[in-house]
């Protein structure tokens, strides 16, 4: 007989306690099981017995008496009928939206950036990290040039990201020629060679190499606004190229011969992207009216000159700070195989407590600058009111349960990861306590408060994982961490991988 020990207590996070009744908190500290008649009951013992190892391998089926007990239990509570009538016609976020939360947190902030830039729209693509990066950069330009509006070209950065990711993928295929094709690593590489998502360091690598242009110099096309078809075509060809490279390696071709093959492959990928998006400009003319109605014009400017001379922000001076409670704080981390531009290096992060992330973000906002950040937007978010809060969707009222995992546990068990990048543009502080944050999103003006969102401080605690801060803002203690040798995490550690929502 195999004995399985079940813990008789569990530590509940404040996040979990937002949702759980007193009775549920008590039950969460014990174990639940089924009686011999199939009925559900709270286990009195913290030790569960299993007849033998073969029964564990076969699995335990759901019995008909057990299912009947579930059904009787469900129909006995009249509230379940009301919940069914409602939720069969509406989404959770619509039907369970907690009015008290968004009334308590109006879109008013004690500290807000001077400039309200027009809201951008990434449409049906995963380019949030590019939008957030360019939205952060334009703030300084709008102030310097006295502009009512400005949008930098996301498609321009997107074009080169697709090309660079294709090269990065093929180089990783060359790097793993002797790895098992069916192994976890190669299959992970093959799973998403050119997904739309990215990271701050990947954004920096692109703008430092290729520059930036205004949106009117390189606007959207069908395949930037909805990237699915182009992504499918490039991905299919890259997998075909991977098969060809590995086959020729097995046939004895040298690495130089394989790289000659890679050049032909990249030429074809470049053609796909150029046909789908149009070729990016080599030089641009930028003309505009400032708010005082004066005309300005800059002619024959290269994208790199535009970045250096007009954007005037050195992205290499910024660093990613993360809150990953699974891993040790005050350490530098990187993720093996993640990146986009060969020669630019891989992504790097400094791991700090969530309070230190908030302290740095507040300092930057109070100085009048925006903050790029990454979070898990899929959790407890009201689209209609643009509200991010751990109680804004009232699951407890509909389902009578809460959520018991900590931030670290959600990462460990795959329940949470960074899914979206946006820009912090304000914060509300009362009596020295942070209450809520203002966010510039990139989903168009129809979401939230004309495109802006509100995030409560407790949501920040649970679902914000990354901010980007200029190195000059960091304490010497944190800055010294950059000199450490990075702890290398495996490429399937998606919390620190690429994201796009």
Burial class (CB in 10 A: 0-12, 13-18, 19+), 340: buried
Mean pLDDT (whole number) for 62-84: 95
Distance CA 183, CA 15 (A): 37
What's the pLDDT at 47? 42
Contact 207, 307 (CB under 8 A): yes
In the structure, what pLDDT confidence band is assigned to residue 6 with cuts at 50, 70 and 90? very low
In the structure, what pLDDT confidence band is assigned to residue 495 with cuts at 50, 70 and 90? confident
pLDDT of 367 above 90 = yes
Contacts of 165 (CB under 8 A, 6+ apart): 193, 194, 340
Give the HSE-up count for residue 293: Cα atoms under 13 Å, Cβ half-sphere: 0
- State yes or no: is 128 an active-site residue: yes
The CA radius of gyration of the chain, in Å to the nearest whole number, is 26
What's the pLDDT at 28? 43
Across 187-202, b (16+ Cβ under 10 Å) vs e yields ebbbeebbbbbbbbbb
What's the pLDDT at 176? 98
In the structure, what pLDDT confidence band is assigned to residue 252 with cuts at 50, 70 and 90? very high
Mapped onto helix, strand or coil, the DSSP state of residue 16 is helix
- State yes or no: is 251 an active-site residue: no
In the structure, what pLDDT confidence band is assigned to residue 498 with cuts at 50, 70 and 90? low
CA distances from residue 356 to 13, 329, 353, 375, 467 in whole angstroms, order as listed: 19, 11, 5, 16, 11
pLDDT of 460 above 90 = yes
CA distances from residue 491 to 185, 194, 365, 403, 467 in whole angstroms, order as listed: 8, 15, 33, 28, 21
What's the pLDDT at 46? 41
pLDDT of 173 above 60 = yes
Q: Which residue is catalytic, options 105, 128, 310, 323? A: 128
pLDDT tens digits, one per residue of 15-31: 444 444 444 444 444 43
pLDDT tens digits, one per residue of 29-67: 443 333 433 444 444 444 444 455 555 677 899 999 999
Lowest mean pLDDT among 1-10, 96-105, 326-335, 378-387: 1-10
- State yes or no: is 420 an active-site residue: yes
What's the pLDDT at 496? 67
What's the pLDDT at 55? 58
| CA neighbor of 215 nearest in space, from 159, 154, 281, 153 | 153
What's the pLDDT at 156? 98
What's the pLDDT at 346? 79
Share of residues in the chain with pLDDT > 70 (%):
88
């Amino acid at each position: 007989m195999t004995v399985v020990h079940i813990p008789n207590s569990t530590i509940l996070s404040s996040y979990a306690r937002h949702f759980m009744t007193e009775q549920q908190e008590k039950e969460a500290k014990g174990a639940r099981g089924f009686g011999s008649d199939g009925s559900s009951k709270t286990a009195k013992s913290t030790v569960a017995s299993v007849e033998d190892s073969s029964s564990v391998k076969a699995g335990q089926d759901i019995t008909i008496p057990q299912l009947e007990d579930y059904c009787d239990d469900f129909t006995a509570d009249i509230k379940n009928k009301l919940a069914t009538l409602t939720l069969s016609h509406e989404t959770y976020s619509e039907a369970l939206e907690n009015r008290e939360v968004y009334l308590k947190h109006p879109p008013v902030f004690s500290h807000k950036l001077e400039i309200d830039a027009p809201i951008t729209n990434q449409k049906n693509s995963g380019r949030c990290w590019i939008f957030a990066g360019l939205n952060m950069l334009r703030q300084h330009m709008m102030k310097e040039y006295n502009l009512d509006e400005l949008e930098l070209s996301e498609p321009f950065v997107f074009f080169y990201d697709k090309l660079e990711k294709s090269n990065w993928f093929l180089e990783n295929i060359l790097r793993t020629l002797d790895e098992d094709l069916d192994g976890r690593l190669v299959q992970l590489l093959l799973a998403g060679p050119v997904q739309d998502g990215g990271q701050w360091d990947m954004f920096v690598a692109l703008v430092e190499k290729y520059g930036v242009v205004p949106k009117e110099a390189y606007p959207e096309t069908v395949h930037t606004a909805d990237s699915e078809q182009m992504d499918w075509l490039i991905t299919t060809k890259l997998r075909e190229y991977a098969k060809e490279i590995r086959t020729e390696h097995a046939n004895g071709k040298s690495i130089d011969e394989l790289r000659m093959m890679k050049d032909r492959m990249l030429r074809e990928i470049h053609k796909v992207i150029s046909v789908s998006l149009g070729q990016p400009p080599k030089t641009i003319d930028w003309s505009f009216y400032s708010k005082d109605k004066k005309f300005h014009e800059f002619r024959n400017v290269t994208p790199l000159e535009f970045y250096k001379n007009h954007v005037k922000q050195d992205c290499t001076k910024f660093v990613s700070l993360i809150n990953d409670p699974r891993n040790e704080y005050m350490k530098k981390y990187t993720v093996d195989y993640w990146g986009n531009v060969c020669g630019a290096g891989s992504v790097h992060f400094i791991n700090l407590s969530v309070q230190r992330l908030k302290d740095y973000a507040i300092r930057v906002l109070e100085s009048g600058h925006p903050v790029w950040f990454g979070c898990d937007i899929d959790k407890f978010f009201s689209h209609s009111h643009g509200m991010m809060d751990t109680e804004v969707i009232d699951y407890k009222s509909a389902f009578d349960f809460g959520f018991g995992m900590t931030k670290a546990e959600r990462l460990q068990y795959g329940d949470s990861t960074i899914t979206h990048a946006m820009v912090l543009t304000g914060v509300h502080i009362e009596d020295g306590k942070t209450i809520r944050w203002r966010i510039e999103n990139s989903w168009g003006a129809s979401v939230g408060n004309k495109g802006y969102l509100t995030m409560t401080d407790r949501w920040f605690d649970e679902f914000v994982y990354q901010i980007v801060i200029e190195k000059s803002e960091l304490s010497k203690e944190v800055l010294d961490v950059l000199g450490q040798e990075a702890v290398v995490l495996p490429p399937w550690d998606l919390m620190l991988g690429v994201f796009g929502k």
